[in-house]
Amino acid sequence: MNNFDNISFKPAFSHIYIEEKALYHPVTEQILQKFPQAKQIRIAHYKDVFCRSRQQFGLQKQSPKLILAKRENTCIYEGAKPCQSFGHTHFYYASGVMNCFYDCEYCYLQGMYPSANLVVFVNLEETFRQVEELLQKFPLYLCISYDTDLLALESMLGYVRRWIAFARKWENLTIEIRTKSANYAKIADLAPSDNVILAWTLSPQETMTRYEHGTATTAARLKDAEAAAADGWNVRLCFDPVLWQKRWRESYRQLITETFETVSPGEILDCSIGQFRAAKDALKRMRKNRPDSALLHYPYQLQDGVYQYDRERAAELMGQIKRWVENYLPPEKIFLWQGEE
């Protein structure tokens, strides 16, 4: 992580930029009530702030600002190559929030966006409308928490509750809500839904401490996953990205043992395992934003437009972790990302 020890930062969301057309939306009013001390700045368009030149991603991560906007174009996108489709033909993701409150060193978002500030599109109803249009054509597998961590923001937005309510209306819609938070309590009062998957990303504790700044601890995530599974939710466990480190065998063996000692294997929907990967242009920007990151400056190999570990190292890493997981789950419940799906 960049060293800004000598700089005094304002608290997160000390400034809130608001598009004129989003000013009187109910979600805007709801958010502003939660930050009464924030300085409010009206803007014509979110890109005037979010996409301006010469921003410093690392500095902004220390004191992110909030931008409230209205989405007036595409809200739903086809899943990208580095993402896992879990066997679904029509795999899409929704972008209701741009950027994540957490600061994971390996996160592709720092290579995707020019700013570390968060953009919240307050008109979630427009996203719902576009999803409904697609559902008229085919069944949809939709990831709603890839460009952010929605459950981590639930106290501020309440979007997860709204998505779950929406999903209940459509039998041909499956949504995945992925998180590194321990915020299940914010939705624990809701009845489970058959077409909603709650997915927790899990990392060895030393990986979490070193690379996943601001996230919940591994133990806290596991406790939440166990509670959700016990309540009857579809729970997915994601060992992703797995990282090649000096002690990776000990770290991941311990993580997998701890995971299935905490969460009963019989209560798990499935599990994903994925190595580190980043699109070519994204990794270039990620390295620029973190010039001191040994993780990002590792000599990955470019395969089909995606940087990843060389085939021999990936096979050893992924193969061993898969074998450990197979001690608890049948092969049909284990999904791998190895660059050749």
Residue-wise pLDDT for 195-252, tens only, equals: 999 999 999 999 999 999 999 999 999 999 999 999 999 999 999 999 999 999 999 9
Say if residue 316's pLDDT is above 60.
yes
Q: How far is CA 147 from CA 77, 97, 282, in A?
A: 11, 7, 14
Helix (H) or strand (E) holding 94: strand 91-94
Q: Name all contacts of 244-249 with Cβ < 8 Å and 24+ positions apart.
A: 244/276, 244/298, 244/309, 244/313, 244/317, 245/206, 245/207, 247/206, 248/317, 249/320
DSSP secondary structure letter of residue 329: S
Helix (H) or strand (E) holding 66: strand 66-69
Whole-structure pTM over 0.85, yes or no? yes
CA dist., res. 141 & res. 118, Å (int)? 25
Could you tell me the pLDDT band of residue 8, with boundaries at 50, 70 and 90? very low
Say if residue 325's pLDDT is above 90.
yes
* Helices of type H across 179-233: 205-211, 218-230
Average the pLDDT over 52-70 and give the result.
89
pLDDT tens-digit series, residues 262-279: 999 999 999 999 999 999
Beta bridge partners of 67: 17, 119
* Helices of type H across the chain: 26-34, 47-50, 57-62, 124-135, 154-157, 159-167, 205-211, 218-230, 248-262, 280-289, 311-325
Let me know: does 144 contact 175? Beta carbons within 8 Å.
Answer: yes
Residue 57, Ramachandran bin (φ over 0: left; ψ between -120 and 50: alpha; else beta): alpha
Helix (H, G, I), strand (E, B), or coil: what is residue 185?
A: helix
Nearest to 324 by CA among 268, 262, 252, 223: 252
Q: How far is CA 81 from CA 84, 174, 299, 308, in A?
A: 8, 20, 20, 13
Contact residues for 51 (Cβ-Cβ < 8 A; gap 6+): 114, 115
At 65 the pLDDT is 95
Average the pLDDT over 291-314 and give the result.
94
At 77 the pLDDT is 85
At 86 the pLDDT is 66
Dihedral angle over CA of 128, 133, 134, 140, nearest 10:
40
Q: What is the mean pLDDT of the chain?
A: 92
Average the pLDDT over 319-328 and give the result.
97
At 5 the pLDDT is 41
Roughly how many angstroms between the first and final C-alpha of the chain, as a whole number? Answer: 32
Specify the length of the chain in residues: 341
Nearest to 104 by CA among 235, 267, 241: 241
At 56 the pLDDT is 83
Helix (H) or strand (E) holding 175: strand 173-179
Contact residues for 275 (Cβ-Cβ < 8 A; gap 6+): 241, 242, 308, 309, 314, 317, 318, 337, 338, 339
